[in-house]
Chain A
Amino acid sequence: MDTEIAALKAENESLKQQLREQGQLPMSLEEFKRYGRQMIVQETGGVEGQIKLKNSRVLVIGAGGLGCPCLPYLAGAGVGQIGIVDNDVVETSNLHRQVLHNSSKVGVLKCESAKDVLVKLNPHIKVDTFPVRLDYSNACRIFQGYDVVLDCTDTPLTRYLVSDVAVNLGLTVVSASGLGFEGQLSILNFKNVGPCYRCFFPVPPPPNSVSSCQEGGVIGPCIGLVGVMMAVETLKIILDSYTLDNFKPFLMQYSGFPAQSLRTFKMRGRQATCLACGENPSITRDSIERGHIDYELFCGKRDYNVCLPHERMTVDEFQKSFLKTAELNHILLDVRPRHHYDISHLPNTFNLTVKELRDMDGDMSQLKREIPTVGAQSEVLVLCRHGNDSQLATRILKDQFHLKNVRDVKGGLFKYIDEINPAIPKY
């Protein structure tokens, strides 16, 4: 009995000793084990670097093609607090590139779907979710409390907003984008000294030159690589690998085709004339939060609504009046890009894009070369994917070719598939 008590006492003492020793450690033994492989890379600064990561707070805006590959590396590396802003839900068409989500998450909020994976990956970190669309009224409130912001968004409008708010709150931004097989990456407002998005792009691009992933397409691993590179840059910022002395503004350009290449361009510094971070800034936290900076007006919008009501028809009318009739005395013109058309299309259609029509400059002989039966009185029905380009094409056919009976199909092929014929492949 006595020996048993003595043994228990000894064990108790040894456990107490272990606890005392652990209490003096900056993190748990499990965390030492977990981060060991990166801590022994000298560039991370070992335990000291790991503590920097543990104490860091990173906000990721967008849990899509860039956010998904980036987030697990931040979580895995032990970034102590990760915020995710995204109000979209997972769609099947996201899954080829947004690899944090999976088929069972279709319809679930992307920020919650991502959080699910991250907290399982690393239980030592905290993940906050913001299922809202970032705008001028909520951005400052959301950004507060974070050290680094990752811009994984997909429109010029949010890119200007993220940069402006970060400048005003003194946060460094890791900004990236991708489309097709290309990607770009930069660090903005580094330690509140480096150039911001407006320094690089004081004037926004014309709206019709901006293409989205939905429109232009995107290769999963190409944008994924850029997302992973964002994680690398974020770790370097947190680990103080970049300093005010050694940081030089840059923009990286990745291309997946034809041969993979990664270029680093040397970029301009902060611009004295910049409206956000220059010498006399007019974009302040107050002016942003009051809605005085009109981002929508600044970035503009494409105007697709160029057809009058009588120049348009519903998919229902399209089906009843034209597709069901036996004889073809009308012309069906599909104006989607050729490689879209090749994926799926309706029978008995011609395929000419808006650009091809525009390039004909209203020359009927060129149009007849493509559509031999076309004439001024022909009944022409135009459709595209969603009913935007078809309106532009209708305008060109009526105004430049002077065709009298042209109408576009509202909502395009995809609405037709949704409402009338779900057997046609939608992509």
Chain B
Amino acid sequence: MVSVKVEFLGGLDVIFGKQRTHKLNVPSNSGEEVTVGTLIDYIVEKMIKNAGDKCVFIENDSVRPGILTLINDTDWELEGEKEYVLEDGDIVSFTSTLHGG
């Protein structure tokens, strides 16, 4: 179990009851470490209430193109992406890219 803060920015909060930040206790699968991959599965299974909304967040088993994932304000690409092992107090942010000008 790890307790983290998750944020949905850039309009993504629309599929999470319009709530931008959530405090979560993410359980580990059979005592393993909790990774960002585990967190994403948890979000898809437990937090997206409406099955039709899943495609807004996930595509081909990963975060949908156009959504940036940040771990403690750092691009997850620099942190090991799904393999990153979460620690208590980590902040994971998902932000949809904006296109308006």
Contacts and interface: CB of A to CB of B under 8 A. Distances in A.
A and B physically associate = yes
Interface of A: 62, 64-67, 151-156, 159, 176-180, 182-184, 200-206, 209-213, 216, 218, 223, 251, 253, 255, 263-268, 355, 358-359
B97 A218 contact: no
Given A211-B11, A251-B75, A265-B93, 19 more contacts: A151-B101, A177-B101, A179-B10, A179-B11, A180-B11, A182-B98, A183-B98, A184-B10, A184-B98, A204-B66, A205-B66, A205-B67, A209-B56, A216-B100, A223-B100, A265-B68, A266-B78, A267-B75, A358-B52
B77 to A, nearest CB: 4
B92 interface: no
Contacts, number: 103
B80 interface: no
Given A179-B11, A268-B78, A359-B50, A205 B100 contact: no
A263 B73 contact: yes
A226 to B, nearest CB: 9
Interface of B: 9-11, 50, 52, 56, 59, 64-68, 70, 73-75, 77-78, 93, 95-101
Contact of B65 (A67, A151, A206, A266): A206
A284 B8 CA distance: 36
Q: Which of B59, B70, B97 has the most CB of A within 10 A?
A: B97
Nearest to A183: B98
13 contacts: A65-B101, A151-B101, A154-B99, A177-B100, A179-B98, A203-B65, A204-B65, A205-B97, A212-B99, A218-B100, A268-B77, A268-B78, A358-B52
Nearest to B12: A209
A212 B75 CA distance: 25
Contacts of A206: 59, 64-66
Contacts of A218: 100
Nearest to A199: B77
A399 to B, nearest CB: 15
Contact of A253 (B9, B64, B99): B9
Given A178-B101, A204-B66, A266 B74 contact: yes
Interface centre among B65, B98, B101 (most CB of A within 10 A): B101
B52 A212 contact: no
Contacts of A359: 50, 52
A251 B78 CA distance: 14
Contacts of B11: 179-180, 182, 211, 216
Nearest to A210: B99
Q: Which 4 A-B pairs have the closest CB atoms?
A: A205-B66, A203-B65, A154-B101, A179-B100
